[in-house]
Homo-oligomer: A and B are copies of this chain.
Amino acid sequence: MAFGEFDLIDNYFTHRWPQRDDVVLGVGDDGAVLALPQGAELVVATDTMVSGVHFDEQTPARAIAHKVAAVNLSDLAAMGAEPAWLSLALTLPEADQDWLNGFSHGLKEICDYYGCQLIGGDTTKGPLTVTVTAHGFVPAGTALRRDGAKPGDWLFVSGCIGDAGLALAVQQQRTTISDAHYRRVLERLYFPSPRVALGQNLREIASSAIDISDGLVADLKHILKASNVGARVDVDELPLSLAMTESVAADAAIDYALSSGDDYELCFTVPESRRGVFDTVLAHHPAKPICIGRITNEANTLTLLRNDEPWFSQREREGYDHFS
C-alpha cells in the first residue's frame, strides 16, 4: 500500500474525492479500514488493463481510468451488487503530470457518478498497467451468478452490442465509417456505461447474469457451461445501434454483435415465473433490455437462428482469448 509514499502521485488521489461514511480510514495508511453493512455479502472483482493489449498509445488517460473502473463496476453489475469502494494499482513508466491529471480526473468522474470511493492502492514504476479491484454489496443470498439458468428461461441483453467492436475495427483500419458514427461508437469503446442500476434491479428476478466483455457468444457460453444448459438465439432480435446498421451490412452487424466484446452490456436469463415482476420493474427503469432467445436443455449447445433458419457467423473466433 504505497499511496502516501510519493507526494507527487499522492496529490492526484487523496484530495477532493468523494467520501463515503463507511470508509473509516482511506488512502494513506498500510491498508484501508471499512465499516461493513449488516445482512450483506461483499462482492469483489478485479480487472487489469495493459498498454498495447487493452488500449493503445492514443487512448486518452481519462478514458483509460474510466474504462478500468467501468469494467470492474460492470462485473459488480453482473453480480447485482451496489458498488462501494475501489482500489487502484497503477504502474507507470514515468510520473507525467498531464497524464496523471487526465487519469485522476477520469477516475474521479466515474467514482462520483456511481457513488464509490477510492480507498487505496499502489503506484509503481514500470510498463503502463492498471489494475482495479472493486468492492460492492448484495443482500445476503441474492448475488446474480452464472450457474442458475434453467431450460425455458428467457434470454436478454441490456442494450445495443457490437459498437465497441466496430470502433476498434475502424481504429485498426479494418473498416471505415462516417465521422459522426465513429464518434458515437468510439464513445462506447472508450467510456462504456456499466449497467449498475439494472444489475441491482435484476436481483431475485434473473436466474443468471454475466457482463459482455469478450462478445455475446463467448460470454453466453460461460452461462451455458456453468448452468449446464443450451440456448437458442434469434440473431434478428439482437439490439443494434443506428451507427451500426447505417455503417455496415446486416450480416456484418450481426457478426459484430455476436463476436466483438467491450460493450459491457449485461446478458441475463429470466424464468417465465418472474416475467411479470421483471416487466413491472423495467417499466420504471430507463434501460430496456431486449429478449433475444431462450434457454434450452441441450447442454453447452448454442444455436443461432435467422428467420428460423440456422445461422453461421463468418467470424469463427469467439471472443478474445489472450493466450490463444
Instruction: State the A residues within 8 Å of B (CB).
Output: 1-2, 4-6, 8-9, 24-25, 28-36, 38, 40-54, 74-76, 78-79, 81, 85, 87-89, 91, 94-95, 119-127, 129, 131, 133-136, 138, 140, 143, 145-147, 209-211, 214, 222, 226, 319, 321-323
Contact = CB atoms under 8 A, between A and B. Distances in A.
A126 B32 contact: no
Nearest to A210: B30
Contact of A45 (B6, B30, B35, B211): B30
29 contacts: A1-B47, A6-B321, A6-B322, A6-B323, A28-B226, A29-B79, A30-B210, A31-B75, A31-B78, A31-B79, A32-B43, A33-B42, A33-B79, A33-B145, A34-B41, A36-B36, A44-B120, A45-B120, A46-B88, A46-B122, A47-B122, A48-B122, A49-B124, A95-B323, A125-B322, A126-B127, A127-B127, A131-B131, A133-B133
A30 B126 contact: no
Nearest to A3: B46
Contacts of A125: 50, 53, 322-323
A34 B45 CA distance: 11
Given A9-B323, A46-B122, A129-B129, 9 more contacts: A29-B226, A35-B41, A47-B122, A48-B124, A49-B124, A51-B126, A87-B133, A125-B322, A126-B127
